[in-house]
Amino acid sequence: MAISTNKILRLSFSTAGGKTFTLSILNPREDLSQAEILSVMDRMIEEDILMTTSGALTGVKDIKIVNTVVNDLFDPVQP
């Protein structure tokens, strides 16, 4: 049994097809600023770095850092 924590940076973009595309990055650098993140997201949009099933990225929709704590209550016996 163990407790683990995770931090995920979630970058959400609008797409040409009117949908939302979210990119999740595990364990982002602790000292990231909003300006740095927006700069990278804007560059991804300008340079068409990613193509989604609903088209190209067209705008920044949201930025979140999600922290999770997992408390594993059962560990099966290993043979």
Structural domains counted in the chain:
1
Report pLDDT for 31: 95
Distances (CA, A) of 52 to 9, 14, 33, 60, 62: 19, 10, 26, 15, 17
Report pLDDT for 36: 97
Spacing of C-alpha 32 from chain mean position: 13
Tell me if 20 is assigned to some domain: yes
Tell me if 49 is assigned to some domain: yes
Tell me if 32 is assigned to some domain: yes
pTM for this one? 0.83
pLDDT bracket for residue 79 (50, 70, 90): confident
- pLDDT 10s digits, 28-64: 999 999 999 999 999 999 999 999 999 999 999 999 9
Question: Which structural domain range is residue 46 located in?
Answer: 3-70
Report pLDDT for 9: 98
Distances (CA, A) of 26 to 55, 62, 73: 25, 17, 23
Tell me if 40 is assigned to some domain: yes
Tell me if 79 is assigned to some domain: no
